[in-house]
Amino acid sequence: MLETTPRLALPLLTAGQAQKEVTHNEALICADMLIQPVVQAIGTGSPPTNPEPGQCWVIGESPTGAWTGHALCMVCWSEAGWLFASPFEGMSALNQSNGHIIRYQSGQWVSGDVNAAQVKIGGVQVIGAQRPAISNPSGGSTLDSEARITIASILTALREHGLIAA
């Protein structure tokens, strides 16, 4: 019989278990930590001196003290002490220190990257997939150097933002 849930490792009650409230309460604390998680910071190496119940962090690669052996885990302080959650592919949280969404991907925490097919504001697409390259203006019977400079500047900005290929 399983002792924890497969994805979030929440503790399960077992038949005939004494003091089921302890296991149940631990599961609720884990759920509170892992559902819509918010962390104080990522990459922290040592436990803070005065954490408050419910505060969470993502541990760095070389943890010390009570965090030793829990590299890259999400950790939360509770009245019962530190509670650790091993990261899994796709796990995400909000980093309160900078407002970035962090995601566990390919064995590391990634901060600030947004992967999307398009961006909409007010239901209107403002950014989509990158378009093919556009060459700078050239040729023509009438040369307008100011217009060419302006168009070239616009194209440069679009390339630098990745909206059109270089």
Model-level pTM? 0.69
Instruction: Find the range with the poorest average confidence among 43-57, 66-80, 115-129.
Output: 115-129
Task: Return the SS3 of 32.
Answer: helix
Question: pLDDT tens for residues 63-99?
Answer: 999 999 999 999 999 888 999 999 999 999 999 999 9
The candidate with the shortest Cα–Cα distance to 70, out of 5, 32, 81, is 81
Helix (H) or strand (E) segment spanning residue 100: strand 100-105
CB under 8 Å to 158, separation ≥6 — which residues?
A: 134, 164
